[in-house]
């Protein structure tokens, strides 16, 4: 009997050991199986990025690719900070600049979805400072023929300019003398903007501008919340975007990338960044984020407003956002006078097949720090490319797109 008890005890102990041994194997197997698909030519992508680093075009980069719902590539290259020899990590935090705009656009469309505002509402209904704006035509100020609508802000047909090197019109030059963006809050921004003319009549011409910063003010006015509060409650918390902020927490500074100019001249160190301070919450370019966080946002868009079986916004709203909204003949990019790339309500939209550079219906945007995102509904594909280089460069996204599409060919045949 004693011997039997010893055998039973040994059996139980061995069973526990076997279970404790097998459980990690089961977990490891499940992780490997969910990431079984890989970019067929991943080494070509590696070599391209490493070549950019070796040529000192960039200090480092993070690439993240999701295909058919699976993350098939998530890699970090180079350095997060050169002087301190900090290695780039997949969790590194980047200034995403104008990749903030699609998030602000989604927030605006949530207000549309809730019937708090309408796309064709004049913005002066919510921002009274922007009533009775004048248009600068041939050195003369004339009364605007149309009112700026919410739709105009979303598709950049407001008539506003940008300045800061992003435009060369007379109005752009007026902006640079007393720029509306360089203030403490969004109320001050629209007050300063009200003193400047438009460069075209609203609703007529596409012109990339500070329109989405104005949307940030509109969201604050309509919701009664700070932009950060609205984003956190309605987008970041539901999507678990825990590393996306207007103000970088001190605890995350060691994950923040330094920012480099040509020849890797330091533009801003992670140790002295102004992103740790209170600033105007810019709907047009104020956020920092990670590749993993931004992927969650992109998945929401690709899945028509649904994330983890929760509907954050009506699918029909996403369809409208990702459809060309520009007046006939207007576009982001034209070929022989024909519009090849249009603009929806927050994104550029491919209106033609571009072969190894994309498909009709693809959409995305970029940040001036040389960060990019690209979504292809046809291929069920999301590509996120993060780097920190000034001046803005398309080199990474233009170089990687053909490699990625080529690497997906074996999977897209299925």
pLDDT tens column, 77-127 = 999 999 999 999 999 999 999 999 999 999 999 999 999 999 999 999 999
Asked whether the beta carbons of 77 and 43 are under 8 A apart, the reply is no
Strand partners, 70: 67
Q: Which residue has the tokens 């219906």?
A: 361
What is the SS3 assignment for 214?
helix
Confidence of residue 21 (pLDDT cuts 50, 70, 90): very low
Average pLDDT value over all residues in the chain: 91
Confidence of residue 413 (pLDDT cuts 50, 70, 90): low
Q: What is the pLDDT of residues 343-364, one digit of tens each?
A: 999 999 999 998 889 999 999 9
Q: What is the pLDDT of residues 226-268, one digit of tens each?
A: 999 999 999 999 999 999 999 999 999 999 999 999 999 999 9
DSSP strand pairing (86-87 vs 94-95): unpaired
pLDDT for position 309? 92
Strand-by-strand arrangement of the 338-343 sheet:
86-87, 70-81, 60-67, 381-386, 371-376, 363-367, 348-350, 338-343, 333-335
Confidence of residue 38 (pLDDT cuts 50, 70, 90): confident
Window from 14-28, 45-59, 218-232 with minimum mean pLDDT: 14-28
pLDDT of 26 higher than 60: no
pLDDT of 376 higher than 50: yes
163-184: average pLDDT: 92
pLDDT for position 337? 84
What is the SS3 assignment for 375?
strand
pLDDT for position 313? 98
Residue among 403, 399, 344, 330 at smallest CA distance from 377: 344
Asked whether the beta carbons of 61 and 78 are under 8 A apart, the reply is yes
Asked whether the beta carbons of 358 and 401 are under 8 A apart, the reply is yes
Window from 128-137, 161-170, 292-301 with minimum mean pLDDT: 161-170
What is the SS3 assignment for 53?
helix
Residue among 408, 353, 407 at smallest CA distance from 380: 408
pLDDT for position 11? 32
- Name the percent of the chain lying above pLDDT 90: 85
Tokens of 136: 């600068």
307-311-317 Cα angle (round to 5): 105
DSSP 7-46: HHHHHHHHHHHHHHHHHHHHHHHHHHHHT----TTHHHHH
pLDDT for position 409? 79
Q: What is the pLDDT of residues 189-201, one digit of tens each?
A: 999 999 999 999 9
Domains of the chain by range and CATH? 42-105+226-412 (3.40.710.10), 117-223 (1.20.58)
How does DSSP classify residue 389? Answer: B
pLDDT for position 71? 96
Confidence of residue 414 (pLDDT cuts 50, 70, 90): low
How does DSSP classify residue 235? Answer: I
């Amino acid at each position: 009997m004693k011997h039997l008890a010893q055998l039973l005890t040994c059996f139980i102990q061995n069973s526990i050991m076997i279970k404790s041994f097998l459980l990690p194997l089961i977990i490891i197997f499940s992780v490997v199986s969910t990431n079984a698909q890989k970019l067929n030519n991943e080494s070509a992508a590696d070599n391209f990025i490493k070549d950019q680093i070796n040529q000192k075009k960039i200090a480092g980069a993070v690439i993240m690719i999701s295909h058919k719902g699976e993350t098939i590539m998530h890699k970090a290259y180079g350095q997060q900070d050169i002087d301190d020899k900090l290695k780039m990590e997949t969790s590194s935090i980047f200034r995403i600049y104008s990749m903030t705009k699609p998030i602000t656009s989604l927030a605006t469309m949530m207000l549309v979805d809730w019937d708090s505002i309408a796309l064709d509402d004049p913005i002066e209904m919510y921002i009274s400072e922007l009533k009775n704006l004048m248009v600068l035509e041939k050195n003369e100020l004339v009364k605007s023929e149309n009112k700026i609508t919410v739709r105009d802000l979303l598709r950049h047909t407001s008539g506003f300019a940008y300045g800061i090197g992003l435009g060369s019109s007379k109005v752009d030059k007026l902006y640079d003398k007393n720029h509306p963006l360089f203030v403490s809050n969004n109320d001050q921004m629209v007050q300063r903007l009200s003193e400047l003319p438009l460069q075209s009549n609203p609703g007529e011409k596409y012109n990339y501008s500070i329109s989405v910063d104005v949307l940030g003010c509109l969201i604050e006015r309509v919701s009664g919340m700070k932009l950060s509060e609205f984003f956190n409650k309605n987008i970041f918390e539901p999507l678990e975007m825990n590393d996306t902020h207007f103000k970088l927490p001190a605890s995350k500074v060691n994950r923040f990338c330094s920012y480099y100019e040509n020849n890797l001249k330091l533009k801003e160190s992670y140790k002295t960044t102004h992103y740790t301070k209170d600033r105007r919450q810019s709907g047009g370019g104020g956020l920092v984020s990670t590749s993993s966080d931004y992927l969650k946002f992109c998945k929401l868009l690709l899945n028509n407003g649904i994330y983890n079986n929760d509907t954050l916004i009506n699918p029909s709203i996403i369809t409208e956002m990702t459809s060309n909204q520009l007046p006939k003949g207007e576009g982001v990019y034209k070929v022989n006078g024909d519009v090849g790339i249009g603009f929806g309500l927050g994104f550029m939209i491919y209106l033609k097949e571009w072969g190894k550079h994309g498909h009709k219906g693809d959409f995305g945007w970029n940040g001036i720090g040389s960060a990019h995102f690209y979504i292809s509904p046809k291929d069920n594909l999301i590509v996120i490319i993060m780097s920190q280089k000034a001046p803005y460069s398309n080199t990474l996204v233009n170089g990687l797109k053909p490699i990625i599409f080529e690497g997906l060919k074996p999977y897209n045949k299925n």
